[in-house]
Chains A and B, each alone.
Chain A
Amino acid sequence: MSDMPFPNTPRVDATDKVRGAALFCADDARAGMAHAALAVATIGRGYVLTVDTSAASAVPGVRLILTHDDFRDVKSAGFIMGGGYGFQSLLPMLSQAVAYRGQPIALVAADTLETATEAAALVQATYEAEPFSVTLDAPGIEIVNQADTPLKNFFPEAIAGDADKAFEEAPVKVEATFTCPPQHQNPIELIATVAEWKDDKLIVHEGTQNAEAIRHGLAVALGISPEHVEVISPYAGGGFGLKNSLQMQTVLAAVAAQRLARPVKLVVPRTQVFHDASFRPATRHHVRIGADRAGHMVAAIHEVDAQTSRHDLFPGEYASTSARLHGFEHFRGHERLVRTDVQTPGYMRAPFEHPACFAMESCVDELAYVLGQDPVALRLANDTAIDPISKLPFSSRRVADCLRRGAELFGWGARTMAPESMREDDGTLIGYGVATGAYPGVIVPTIARLKVTDDGGVVISIGGHEMGQGIRTALAAAVSRKLGVPAERIEAVIGDTRAAPQHLTAGSWGTASAIPAADAAAESMLTALRELASGDISASQTPAQILKAAKRSALEVEVQTKAPGQPDAIFDRLRSGLVSVGGPVYADFVTFSYIAHFVEVRIEPRTRRVRLPRVVSVADCGRVVSPLTAASQVRGGVVWGIGATLREASEVDPRYGGFLNADLAEYVIPVNADIGSIEVEFIDEPDFKFNSAGVKGLGEVAMTGVAAAIANAIFHATGRRLRDLPIRIEHLL
């Protein structure tokens, strides 16, 4: 195993992308394609009584209209976190029930997109409306203690010692409540499906993070064998958790394509994406930290209320990350799920870790001010090598290095402690804030096939999806280094159920899972090549030269890797398209990635706009396989943190249900002018305990802690503790 850092190499698919030649699902514009559009429910909950499709079907060019009468043979593929495949268990149009506003009630397919769109708008429905609840405190909600459900077997509460007693007895206490709004992932690529049947085989093109769940989910939904389903997804135009499972439109498009015996393209409009796919649920966090007078954190309690849907329990895993931020002696986490009448919320970049770190790291800053201690020093003094919950050692934990290096790069030493103590001559308030973030280190089973050919080609077929994080580039870098073949000659076939089983790519486990598999495949290939050459190969010989010398046109190897301690049966689960994660607590260690963010805010003296001229982020993600794309990942995570903290909230009108600001003008994600300098560094120390490549996850830890760093900087600038996201002008006037 090489212990050398990797060099900077360009993104391997960048040339196609800058040419507009990378083909996304909706770029399939073949002749003969039918276009589909959806009509959606306008009530917050209840039943569709009648669906009048007469006006829609009268539009010339309309070929098919499907309503709840047309799905009698279709069944739900289940909820991904309930042993199934869908983003929620509810598949629309299987019955007349309406669970939330925006749920599809009819599909129209036509020869052109214009016709389908026009006709879908002409579908008229009558309803029987029922009362509904869409906010955490609304009448009619139902609160479920997660620990009282079967979820406790998979997501046990993070508890160590007696946190309540220790908190009670602690001489220094801080306690606060934080809220995070519902937010939407909003990748710029809309969710979309192109479905086509060839004989009895269903071929689906879709930008996804989970081709295998689509394949198996379709098989369950349509009652066909998974052998008859292929899912192809070379590129996803951003995922961020939105595309982690079978979407509702996939099944609808597949059924329409079957009825029409024609390929069908269904691109879900942005407003419908807000309602017919997952989102980050609203949460409320009650945090208490107790410390001794020297600042040693003896106890922390983190209690969370998190929104879920009426029909599914979206598990909460908030406190299991906040527990790992510092060396708490005693800790108690507690999650309650609040059932509301929405589509099932789900995973949105750092789904639990962003809110959890916002709450805990804001509270730690409050503790620093109660103690009168520097926020960096307080964190350094509470570092630990031992996991507070399991009492196992961390496989690696370089958060102190992140803090020290970040403080140096940022110039933290120039900060004066008192709030409102730093300002420009014109009255602009300046604030410096710091926070750390953490994200669990998880690995999934991976099967890789590596093939070399005598023309110099190298193809690795492996589980994994490219949604911009750079997995293709990381795979090329890893295989290139092992085989001594230039990265541009290495083709990674990913996101394709024909090539290899495709586990969900999410949870920042992509690199930590795929790179060790790619490494192992390359090692196996080197062994096979040595055998082929009877052990007689020199370092300068390429695989192609060895093949030619041995008069072989190609050589292929297959390997499989999995998380430490996972049983071999996990590969069957992988092949079934089910989530098969291992970690972050392993038999003799615990793995988390860490990051420290330092931000400078500048706040206008009167109109109080908050600007972030610079951010410094130092990450501990183990070995960095693709430094260029990894740095971009971190910058992207910081941009997400800025958006989540200062911009984004999905607005809810309890009288109507659904989401109100359901477009990209009113749901304000950061624009170019919002972003200043973002300086990124890596500790780049491999964690070989975790896996053979020494890689830990990065994509999501990058976002964790940003919100707290900004909120802490705003406190430093203004003296105001703002505990409800997003922080906007009205909170600072």
Chain B
Amino acid sequence: MVATFDDAALQAETTVASTATASLQINVAVNGTPHTLTVDIRSSLLDVLREHLVLTGAKKGCDHGQCGACTVHVDGRRVASCLTLAAQVDGRQVTTIEGLSPRDGSLHPMQQAFIDHDALQCGYCTPGQIMAAVACVQEGHATSTEQIREYMSGNLCRCGAYVGIVAAIQDAAAKMKQV
């Protein structure tokens, strides 16, 4: 990525979209399906996914970006959906745990690896762990146990399934490469 700082561009004036009402319309593709939604300006992406779209796989554990249970992908990158204003995903692609695996009912290799390594207990943090884990592999941050541990530390698991989570990611990383 290379920045260009064109002062002329900085000075240019174009119209701005301003919204002074309590709600806002956004266009967002969620798991490949386009949606036009009217949302409270204050709404988090997490609350819109859960309460409007009834995609409740992403979970609320802290509502302040401190636990990772709400992790989803926006334009292919993992984010904390509780700290993302829904307004910020206007025009973007969101993937949740519900959209991770094919519609034919089969599982993503990461989901299967979580089962195989018993990388979960209560299951509440699990969708967030898996979305983070898939991104961790895609980012190239799953090359060693130390690196996986570091890059998965944004997802708290109170049941303490960390050993299984690391094993699952190592397993799935190899399979995701093959795919």
Contact = CB atoms under 8 A, between A and B. Distances in A.
A113 B161 contact: no
A665 interface: yes
Interface string B32-66: 00000000101100010011001011111111101
Interface string A461-479: 0000011111000000000
Interface residues of B, number: 58
Nearest to A467: B122
Given A17-B126, A470-B121, A677 B163 contact: yes
B109 to A, nearest CB: 11
B142 interface: no
A190 B56 contact: no
* Residue of A16, A115, A188, A669 with most chain B CB atoms under a 10 A cut-off: A188
A18 B124 contact: no
A236 B149 contact: no
Interface string A359-403: 000000000000000000000000000000000000000000000
B8 to A, nearest CB: 41
Contact of B158 (A188, A637, A663): A188
Contacts of B115: 10-11, 14-15, 18
Contacts of B121: 238, 468-470, 629, 632-633, 636
B159 A29 contact: no
Contact of A640 (B123, B155, B160, B163): B160
A76 to B, nearest CB: 29
Contact of B56 (A18, A20, A189): A20
Contacts, number: 189
Contacts of A631: 118
A19 B149 contact: no
A664 B156 contact: yes
A468 B122 contact: yes
B165 A672 contact: yes
B126 A632 contact: no
Given A237-B122, A672-B153, A20 B97 contact: yes
A73 interface: no
Contact of B122 (A10, A15, A186, A235): A235
A13 interface: yes
A640 B121 CA distance: 14
A364 to B, nearest CB: 26
Contact of A23 (B56, B126, B154): B56
Given A19-B97, A237-B59, A663-B66, A114 B47 contact: yes
Contacts of B164: 632, 635
Contact of A665 (B22, B58, B64): B64
Interface in A420-468: 466-468
Given A29-B56, A235-B123, A665 B158 contact: no
A27 B61 contact: no
Given A29-B56, A189-B124, A467-B122, A663 B162 contact: no
A675 interface: yes
A669 B158 contact: yes
Interface of A: 10-11, 13-24, 26-27, 29, 60, 112-115, 118, 186-190, 235-240, 267, 269-270, 466-470, 628-629, 631-633, 635-640, 663-665, 669-675, 677-678
10 contacts: A11-B120, A14-B115, A20-B127, A237-B125, A635-B164, A663-B62, A663-B66, A673-B150, A673-B152, A674-B162
Interface of B: 22, 40, 42-43, 47, 50-51, 54, 56-64, 66-67, 69, 96-98, 101, 107, 111-112, 114-116, 118, 120-127, 130, 148-150, 152-166
